[in-house]
Amino acid sequence: MLIKNIKSLLQTSSPTKALRGKSMSEMKSIENAWLLIENDIIKNFGSMDTCPDFNGETIDAIGKIVLPTWCDSHTHLVFSTSREEEFEMRLKGKSYQEIAQAGGGILNSAKKLQNTSEDDLFKSAFQRLHEVMKLGTGAIEIKSGYGLSVEGELKMLRVIKRLKEKSPIPIKANFLGAHSYPAEYKDDHQGYINLIVNEMLPQIAKEGLADYIDAFCEKVAFSVSDTEQIIKAGAKYGLKAKIHTNQFNCMGGIELCVENNALSVDHLEVVNDAEIECLKNSETIATLLPSAPFFLSDPYQPGRKLVDEGVAVALASDYNPGSSPSGNMNLVVSLACVKLKMTPEEAINAATINGAFAMELNEEYGSISKGKKANFILTKKIPSVAYIPYAFGSNLIDQVIINGKSI
């Protein structure tokens, strides 16, 4: 397939490390371009004065922009049912943390998941996966964490495994047994950690069900030393850490993650100068999830400052029923510009190539490069790159191409 007369072909570099600092605002692109796809792979591209003769399927993209599909490196896409009852409680004044402490929140989702079959979980998650693909997502990470028991966590991870087998886009599985303490372990935190370490992890490793390990490091959830036990136990099975931290409190989670070479630290609504210093001297990626503070009316992540200080920043949706019931990466990119004060180029880089690095998928995804998978978004006719985050809420996508095929 040949796409010709592309107004602008975005992000044509293939960096070997996650972008940071000034490089986040650089977006190599070609104006008035062509792009040639062979099967599911990007074969070649260039400017129209070098366009090859081609007899196969040809798309005329006059006035349209082509960019890599979104790489959404943090989601909780597998869950039982929505939680709009808690949304309404929050509208009447209860906070997310109060609802969690009263047994709602994550525990509410865990209760619902217990009574949902593996088949039903698969069906609803598969539907959500297609929903986000149509919104331009071309690679995704999915967490467990609503099981909170040996059977529950294995059930979720087996659903993710089935999704991987059926999905046209790559999926990374992240084991989040340490999402919340189940009620029966309310006064025996070590007992639950032991269950994760001694029973869940060995079985998960045996079945090859996880690529990464996660924990919710927060006052309402796992302490820094609890999180340390989880990270170290995961490392024994070769699982790198991608950790929820600094959503509500600075507790030392970032330092712990950096010391343990975590692939990413995710959320970061609150982050202090010492933590920024620690992050910028590390390879750990800061994955910002602006739709969570949007939905919870919390303070936004200091995106501008993190970029200026030289931290590698990625953007993800956090798609989940409690804090971000949307997997729309177009909205995430708009929020990153409007609320986190990132530029359109920085936000698009953070949501594509840096997201790919945060899932270790950068060799095949995240940019328009020869030999990479042909996963890209073809926009409608739009005036400029900045129009993408500017026209928030409008659907600017004409076609999403996955593995060389329009979906």
Residue 227 vs residues 43, 346, 394: alpha-carbon distances, Å: 44, 31, 40
Judged by CB under 6 A, which of 209, 292, 311, 350 binds ligand NIG?
Answer: 292
Whose Cβ is closer to ligand NIG: residue 14's or residue 97's?
97
Take residue 242 and report the two structure tokens written for it. 């991608």
Whose Cβ is closer to Fe ion: residue 154's or residue 221's?
221
Whose Cβ is closer to ligand NIG: residue 15's or residue 302's?
302
CB contact at 8 A, 85 and 118: no
* 365 interface partner picked from Fe ion, ligand NIG, none, CB below 5 to 8 A per type: none
Judged by CB under 6 A, which of 15, 68, 105, 327 binds ligand NIG?
Answer: 105
Length of the chain as a residue count: 407
Stretch that binds ligand NIG, among 189-197, 318-326, 376-384, 399-407 (CB under 6 A): 318-326
DSSP string, 211-225: SEEEEEESTTSB-HH
Stretch that binds ligand NIG, among 298-306, 321-329, 367-375, 392-400 (CB under 6 A): 321-329
Of 402, 399, 404, residue with least CA distance to 169: 402
Residue 320 is a binding residue for ligand NIG (CB under 6 A): yes
Residue 318 is a binding residue for Fe ion (CB under 5 A): yes
Write the Ramachandran bin of 28: left for phi over 0, alpha for psi from -120 to 50, otherwise beta: beta
Residue 177 is a binding residue for ligand NIG (CB under 6 A): no
Helices 106-114 & 150-166, crossing angle to 10 degrees?
A: 80
Residue 121 is a binding residue for ligand NIG (CB under 6 A): no
Residue 269 is a binding residue for Fe ion (CB under 5 A): no
Residue 141 is a binding residue for ligand NIG (CB under 6 A): no
Residue 86 is a binding residue for Fe ion (CB under 5 A): no
Cβ partners under 8 Å of residue 259, min gap 6: none
**Is the alpha carbon torsion for 360, 366, 367, 373 positive or negative?**
positive
CB contact at 8 A, 340 and 301: yes
Stretch that binds ligand NIG, among 105-113, 199-207, 230-238, 325-333 (CB under 6 A): 105-113
Residue of this chain nearest to ligand NIG (CB atom): 322
Of 184, 113, 101, 194, residue with least CA distance to 147: 113
Residue 318 is a binding residue for ligand NIG (CB under 6 A): yes
Residue 197 and residue 202: Cα distance in Å, rounded?
A: 8
What is the H or E stretch that residue 338 is in?
helix 329-338
* 332 interface partner picked from ligand NIG, Fe ion, none, CB below 5 to 8 A per type: none
Considering the complex, what minimum distance in angstroms separates the CB of residue 13 from Fe ion? 29
* 323 interface partner picked from Fe ion, ligand NIG, none, CB below 5 to 8 A per type: ligand NIG
CB contact at 8 A, 116 and 80: yes
What residues between 180 and 219 interact with ligand NIG by CB under 6 A? 216
Whose Cβ is closer to ligand NIG: residue 45's or residue 216's?
216
What residues between 235 and 274 interact with ligand NIG by CB under 6 A? 244, 247
Considering the complex, what minimum distance in angstroms separates the CB of residue 17 from ligand NIG? 26
In three-state secondary structure terms, 212 is strand
* HSE (side-chain half, CA atoms, 13 Å) at 103: 6
Residue position matching structure tokens 């790559």:
170
Residue 214 is a binding residue for Fe ion (CB under 5 A): no
* 172 interface partner picked from ligand NIG, Fe ion, none, CB below 5 to 8 A per type: none
Stretch that binds Fe ion, among 60-68, 96-104, 112-120, 315-323 (CB under 5 A): 315-323
Torsion of CA 369, 372, 373, 379, to 10 degrees: -10
**What does the binding site for ligand NIG look like in residue numbers (CB under 6 A)?**
105-106, 109, 216, 244, 247, 292, 318, 320-323
**What does the binding site for Fe ion look like in residue numbers (CB under 5 A)?**
318
